[in-house]
Structure 1
Amino acid sequence: MLNSSRGRSQTRSTRTMPFTAMEHPDPKRKSNLIGKVLMAAALTALCIIMLKRSPSFSTSIHFSRHEEGVTHVLVTGGAGYIGSHAALRLLKENYRVTIVDNLSRGNMGAVRILQELFPEPGRLQFIYADLGDAKVVDKIFSENAFDAVMHFAAVAYVGESTMDPLRYYHNITSNTLMVLKSMAVHVSEPTQVPINPYGKAKKMAEDMILDFSKNSDMGIMILRYFNVIGSDPEGRLGEAPRPELRDQGRISGACFDAARGIIPGIKVKGTDYKTHDGTCIRDYIDVTDLVDAHVKALQHAKPRNVGIYNVGTGKGRSVKDFVEACKKATGVDIKVDYLPRRPGDYAEVFSDPTKIRQELNWTARYTDLEESLQIAWRWQKAHHNGYNSS
Structure 2
Amino acid sequence: MLSFSRARSQGRNTRPLTGGMDYLEPKRKTNVMGRVILVVSLTALCIIMLKHAPSFTSPTAFSRSEEGVTHVLVTGGAGYIGSHAALRLLKDSYRVTIVDNLSRGNLGAVKVLQGLFPEPGRLQFIYADLGDAKAVEKIFSENAFDAVMHFAAVAYVGESTLDPLKYYHNITSNTLVVLEAVARHKVKKLIYSSTCATYGEPEKMPIVEVTPQVPINPYGKAKKMAEDMILDFSKNSDMAVMILRYFNVIGSDPEGRLGEAPKPELREHGRISGACFDAARGVIPGLQVKGTDYKTGDGTCVRDYIDVTDLVDAHVKALEKAKPKNVGIYNVGTGKGRSVKEFVEACKKATGVDIKVDFLPRRPGDYAEVYSDPAKILRDLNWSARFTNLQESLELVPYFSFDSTLLSPCLSSGSASIFDFVCLFWSQYVVVRRIFAWDDGASFRSVIAAGWLRGHGDVGDDR
The answer to whether the superposition gives a TM-score over 0.5 is yes
Please state if 1:219 is matched with 2:240: yes
Q: Which amino acid is the alignment partner of residue 360 of structure 1?
A: L
Q: Tell me which residue corresponds to 2:117.
A: 118
- For residue 295 of structure 1, what is the aligned residue in structure 2? 316
Matched, 1:361 2:382: yes
Q: TM-score, normalised by structure 2?
A: 0.70
Output aligned runs, 1:1-390, within 5 Å. 61-187=60-186, 190=210, 191-376=212-397, 379-380=398-399, 382-383=400-401, 385=403, 388-389=458-459
Alignment check: 8 A CA contact 2:136 2:177 kept: yes
Aligned partner letter, 1:140: I
CA distance in 2, matches of 1:107, 1:117: 16
Distance in 2, matches of 1:327 and 1:275, equals 22
Q: What is the CA deviation profile of residues 290-328 of structure 1, one whole-angstrom value per residue up to 9, with x for unaligned ones? A: 000000000000000111111100011000000000001
Query: Which of structure 1's runs of 4+ aligned residues deviate more than 6 A?
Result: none
Give the AA of the match of 1:389: V
Name the aligned partner's letter for residue 371 of structure 2: F
Question: d(CA) in 2 for partners of 1:96 and 1:129?
Answer: 19
Paired amino acid for 1:149: V
Shift of 1:61: 1.5
CA distance in 2, matches of 1:310, 1:99: 25
SS of aligned partner of 2:396: helix
Contact 2:246 2:333 in 1 (8 A): yes
- CA deviations 1:319-360 (Å, max 9, x no partner) are 000000000111111011101111111110011100000111
Distance 2:139 2:401 in 1: 33
State the Cα distance separating 1:384 from its structure 2 match: 7.8
Paired with 2:367 and 2:155, the residues of 1 have a C-alpha distance of: 17
Between 228-237 and 181-190, report the one with greater CA deviation.
181-190
Instruction: Tell me how many residue pairs correspond in the alignment.
Output: 329
Aligned mates of 2:281, 2:103 — CA distance in 1:
25
Q: Which has the larger radius of gyration?
A: 2
CA distance in 2, matches of 1:372, 1:266: 19
C-alpha displacement at 1:179, in angstroms?
A: 0.4
Structure with the larger helix share: 2
State the secondary structure of the residue aligned to 1:236: coil
Superposed CA deviations along residues 108-138 of structure 1, whole A, max 9, x for unmatched, are 0000000000000000000000000000000
SS across alignment from 1:106: coil
Aligned counterparts of 2:358 and 2:335: Cα–Cα separation in 1: 29
Q: Which residue of 2 aligns with 1:30?
A: none
Distance in structure 2 (CA, Å) of the matches to 1:187 and 1:364: 33
The alpha carbon displacement at 1:219 in A equals 2.0
- The 8 Å contact of residues 290 and 360 in structure 2, kept in 1 or not, is answered as yes
Structure 2 gaps of 5+ residues are 1-57, 189-209, 405-456
Moved more, 188-197 or 333-342: 188-197
Query: How far did 1:188 drift?
Result: 7.1
Q: Using the alignment, how far apart are the partners of 2:96 and 2:277 within structure 1?
A: 31
Distance across 2 between alignment mates of 1:359 and 1:152: 22
User: Residue by residue, what CA displacement relative to the aligned partner does 1:200-244 show, whole Å, maximum 9, x if unpaired?
Assistant: 000000000000111111121111111100000111111110000
Contact 2:89–2:316 (Cα < 8 Å) also in 1: yes
Residue identity in the other structure for 1:161: S
Q: What is the alpha-carbon distance in structure 2 between the residues aligned to residue 75 and residue 281 of structure 1?
A: 31
- Conservation of the 8 A alpha-carbon contact between 2:244 and 2:331: yes
The Cα RMSD (Å) is 1.4
Per-residue deviation at 1:74?
0.3
Residues 95 and 334 of structure 1: CA distance in aligned 2, closer, same or farther (over 3 Å): same
The amino acid of 1:64's aligned partner reads S
Q: Give 3-state SS (helix, strand or coil) of 2:458's partner.
A: helix
Contact 2:78 2:105 in 1 (8 A): yes
- Within 2, Cα distance between the matches of 1:289 and 1:188? 26
Q: Distance in 2 between matches of 1:241 and 1:73?
A: 25
Partner Cα separation in structure 2 for residue 302 and residue 61 of structure 1: 28
Letter in 1 for 2:289: V
TM-score, with length taken from structure 1: 0.82
In 2, the alpha carbon distance for the partners of 1:308 and 1:64 equals 30
Equivalent position amino acid for 1:133 in 2: D
What is the one-letter code of the residue matched to 2:131?
A: G
Given residue 145 of structure 1, which amino acid in structure 2 is its aligned partner? A
CA contact (8 A) 2:238 2:324 kept: yes
* CA–CA separation in structure 2 for the residues paired with 1:314 and 1:249: 23
Shift in Å, 1:187: 1.7
Deviation at 1:389, TM superposition (A): 2.3
Amino acid in structure 1 at the alignment position of 2:147: A
Q: Which amino acid aligns with 1:160?
A: E
One-letter identity of the residue aligned with 2:166: R
Flag structure 1 segments of 5+ consecutive residues without an equivalent. 1-58
